[in-house]
């Protein structure tokens, strides 16, 4: 059995960690770790880093090297990375082509700011905007997703002359003082006056956990097990009902035709890989535009081919936004983000001076160009579709096998697995049990994230270079851990 080989490799020698070369690992050998000891790192962390910076796992990992879909800790132990630095490492850790592009640029020019022209930002702007449909042809470079969403808020309010903005319950759009208002997770909110000023959180059209929705309501190869009242698969009854709730917010909570924008992730990321009911975003965009607003698509996690079928997640909703924000995978881990919009909307920034010191600097632009080249030349969007579809189908088999899995969802390599106490209520699995399962999966060599309001959704968003072999490895481990969990009635 494949799993028995994995276990043997993991635990055969107490002082030696053997590689996973039999199941897809390359011949890469990580450099010897020469930094502070593990204990010294813990001391520095406690004394000099803010206490809100929490590390994953009971005994945090000390990662010091990475190669493509693999990470290595200070002892040399290797892990299959299925979270990609929180959906950020898009094409692979230390990808040689990205590394080479950065090395070549760093020898020429680090930084000037855009008070002078330099070639890379212009080359990159042309290449990036060529990936967009319609009139989305103007880009403003920033450094993070929160910055990008901050700028999108500003653009929408200046351009429309309106103030009120809509976002969804369960959404995550950042943690700056303004984007915190867009984010609708109590676990991510501070008691700050004015954070919600002009922000309205509308009902989330979630087919699994929402009031309406079921087995015909999301655009995915894997549907929820929940029964659906839709009689015609081409028309989603849940969408009609959620749309009515959106109408009511506009009718009762806002001044007439005073909407600046609707913010929407194509698939909610931090919220637990939540997909909306079919057709909802397109209908919502039409309603918002009728009321004077814009559609802003947050592609921070869903962009750059991750969902497989399309390069951008919004294309899955058959709609062209007015503004698109992006970060994370855009730079494969390099600090880079962007806002793309139309020339007409972009002109509104001329009303005052607006400047970002580091946005689109030579290093960031060189990395951004290389990332786009790698995605195209190595066909990583196609790989996301192929490997992601396979992964979803294998996870669905585990859902059929283990009652603790309430839902499997997603598209491409943006996948969520929701753990529940029971399927009658779909109540979230207790955090104690979630953490036990999560820890054991890590111990056996696979790293995954967690999300959702209760932290009970496993977030699987790996570098897009992973293989079918890697998926088989992960499934074997998930199967083993879940079997031991259910056999032991919650004790692993």
**Helix, strand, coil share of the chain (percent; to 5):** 40, 15, 45
With CA atoms as reference, report the closest residue to 415 among 218, 273, 216, 308: 273
Whole-angstrom Cα distance, residue 171 to residue 270? 8
**pLDDT category, 26, cuts 50, 70, 90?**
low
15-35 average pLDDT score = 61
Judge contact between 435 and 485, C-beta under 8 A: no
Judge contact between 277 and 243, C-beta under 8 A: no
> Coil, strand, or helix at residue 164?
strand
Please report the sign of the dihedral spanned by the C-alpha atoms of residue 430, residue 273, residue 181, residue 176: positive
Higher pLDDT, 342 or 52: 342
Show the tokens assigned to 53. Answer: 């910076």
277-325: pLDDT as tens digits: 999 999 999 999 999 999 999 999 999 999 999 999 999 999 999 999 9
Report in angstroms the alpha-carbon separations of 129 from 124, 145, 339, 423: 8, 18, 10, 45
With CA atoms as reference, report the closest residue to 138 among 297, 295, 344, 283: 344
pLDDT of the residue at 11? 33
Q: Where are the beta strands (DSSP E) in 218-322?
A: 259-265, 294-298
Residue 388 pLDDT exceeds 70: yes
319-332: pLDDT as tens digits: 999 999 999 999 99
Whole-angstrom Cα distance, residue 104 to residue 329? 21
Structural domains in the chain?
Answer: 2-81+380-487 (3.90.1150.10), 99-377 (3.40.640.10)
**pLDDT category, 25, cuts 50, 70, 90?**
low
First to last CA, the chain: 21
Residue 12 pLDDT exceeds 50: no
Residue 1 pLDDT exceeds 60: no
pLDDT of the residue at 229? 82
What is the pairing mode between strands 337-341 and 405-411?
Answer: unpaired
The DSSP annotation for 102-148 comes to HHHHHTT-----TTS--HHHHHHHHHHHTTS-TT--EEEEESSHHHH
153-201: pLDDT as tens digits: 999 999 999 999 999 999 999 999 889 999 999 988 888 887 789 999 9
**pLDDT category, 2, cuts 50, 70, 90?**
very low
Whole-angstrom Cα distance, residue 266 to residue 316? 8
Rounded to the nearest integer, the mean pLDDT of the chain is 92
Phi-psi region of 273 (alpha: psi -120 to 50; beta: other; left: phi over 0): left
438-444 average pLDDT score = 97
Query: Cα Rg for the chain, rounded, in angstroms?
Result: 23
Q: What share of the chain has pLDDT > 90, as a percent? A: 84
229-277: pLDDT as tens digits: 887 667 899 999 999 999 999 999 998 889 999 999 999 999 999 999 9
Show the tokens assigned to 98. Answer: 């990205």
């Amino acid at each position: 059995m494949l799993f028995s080989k994995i276990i043997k490799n993991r635990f055969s020698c107490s002082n030696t960690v053997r590689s996973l070369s039999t199941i897809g690992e390359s011949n890469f050998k990580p450099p010897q770790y020469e930094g502070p000891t593990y204990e010294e790192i813990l001391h520095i962390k406690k004394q000099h880093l803010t206490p809100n910076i929490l590390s994953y796992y009971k005994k945090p990992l000390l990662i010091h090297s990475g190669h493509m879909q693999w990470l290595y800790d200070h002892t040399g132990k290797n892990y299959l990375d299925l979270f990609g630095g929180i959906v950020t490492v898009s094409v692979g850790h230390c990808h040689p082509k990205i590394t080479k592009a950065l090395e070549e640029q760093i020898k020429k020019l680090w930084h000037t700011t855009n008070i002078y022209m330099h070639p890379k930002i212009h080359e990159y702007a042309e290449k990036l905007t060529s990936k967009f449909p319609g009139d989305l042809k103007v880009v403003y470079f920033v450094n993070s997703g929160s910055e990008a969403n901050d700028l999108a808020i500003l653009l929408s309010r200046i351009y429309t002359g309106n103030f009120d903005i809509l976002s969804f319950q369960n959404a995550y759009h950042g943690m700056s003082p303004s984007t915190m208002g867009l984010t609708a997770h109590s676990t991510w909110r501070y008691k700050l006056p004015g954070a919600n000023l002009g922000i309205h959180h509308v009902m989330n059209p979630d087919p699994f956990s929402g009031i309406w929705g079921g087995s015909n309501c999301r655009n995915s190869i894997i549907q929820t097990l929940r029964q659906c009242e839709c009689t015609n698969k081409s028309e989603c009854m849940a969408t009609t009902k959620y749309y009515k709730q959106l109408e009511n917010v506009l009718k009762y909570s806002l001044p007439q035709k005073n909407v600046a924008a609707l913010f929407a992730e194509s698939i909610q990321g931090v919220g637990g890989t939540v997909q909306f009911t079919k057709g909802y975003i397109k209908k919502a965009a039409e309603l918002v535009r009728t009321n004077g607003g814009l559609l802003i698509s947050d592609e921070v996690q869903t962009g750059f081919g991750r969902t497989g079928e399309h390069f951008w997640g919004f294309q899955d909703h058959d709609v062209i936004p007015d503004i698109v924000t992006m970060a994370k995978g855009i730079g494969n881990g390099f600090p880079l983000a962007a806002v793309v919009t139309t020339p007409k909307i972009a002109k509104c920034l001329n009303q005052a001076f607006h400047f970002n010191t580091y946005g689109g600097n030579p290093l960031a632009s060189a990395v951004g160009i290389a990332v786009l080249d790698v995605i195209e030349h190595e066909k990583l969007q196609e790989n996301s579709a192929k490997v992601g579809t396979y992964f979803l189908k294998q996870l669905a088999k585990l859902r059929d096998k283990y009652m603790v899995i309430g839902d499997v969802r997603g598209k491409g390599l943006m996948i969520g697995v929701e753990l529940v106490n029971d399927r009658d209520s779909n109540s979230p699995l207790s955090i104690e049990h979630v953490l036990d399962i999560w820890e054991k999966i890590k111990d056996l060599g696979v790293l995954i994230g967690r999300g959702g309001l209760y932290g009970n959704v496993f977030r699987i968003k790996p570098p897009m270079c992973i293989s079918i072999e890697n998926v088989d490895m992960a499934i074997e481990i998930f199967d083993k851990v879940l079997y031991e969990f259910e056999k032991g009635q919650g004790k692993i």
